[in-house]
Structure 1
Amino acid sequence: MAKEPGFIINIKASGNYKVLNIIDEELIGKKLTEGSFSLYLDPRYFLGEKVYEMQLKDLILNNSIINLVGNRSVEFALKMGFGAKESVRVIDGVSFLIIYKFTDNY
């Protein structure tokens, strides 16, 4: 039986903010092209810890800024009630979504 596909996560800090990056593992290193626009999903930026769907819920709940790359990760966040389908950007068939959860501590 094939193992469930995973996600790669990492946290990037910038000043007082942390950004949780979640990418479908099979997308790392891919180049996406749409018209004259191209985007390289650079392993140097995205590499991190491999997790599975059961771990994503807590990660999304416990972070304020989340960058999601990939159809599986975006669909999972939408099913959880985070983000809006209208906010999803699709490039070369791959979904992207950024979630900002505002608190009164900013």
Structure 2
Amino acid sequence: MILTERETPKGLLVSVCDRDVLGETFENGEVSITVTEEFYGGEEAGEERVATTLARASVGNLVGERSVSLAIDRGHVEEANVLDIDGVPHAQFLRM
């Protein structure tokens, strides 16, 4: 997985994507997502590092089967809230 961490005035913003979706665009009707290098590009990270970072995040953006599944398994995202965009899972969360 590719992990990016950004400190913001509102807390830690984390983006995670599966390597195979980086640089791709997915569309489903009026919904479209482009997994850009600028936002999702970061460093390769294993499951434990991603899970630890998601636990500290105020905002999370996830794209890809592996990334979203990890967020579901660790309780950061509910499966019912995951979007399917052209067969690719996408999820976001916000902690207040």
Both proteins in one fold, TM over 0.5: yes
The runs of at least 4 consecutive aligned structure 1 residues that moved more than 4 Å come to none
1:1-106 map, 5 Å: 7-35=1-29, 37-102=31-96
- CA shift, 1:80, in A, is 1.1
- Largest Rg, 1 or 2: 1
Gaps of 5+ in 1: 1-6
Contact 2:65–2:88, Cα closer than 8 Å, also in 1 = yes
Residues paired across the two proteins, number:
96
- For 1:101 and 1:37, how far apart are their aligned partners in 2? 24
The superposition leaves residues 50-106 of structure 1 with CA deviations (integer Å, 9 ceiling, x where unpaired) of: 10112122111111211111111111111112221111111001111111222xxxx
Q: Percent identity among equivalent residues?
A: 24
RMSD: 1.7
Contact 2:3–2:50, Cα closer than 8 Å, also in 1 = no
Gaps of 5+ in 2: none
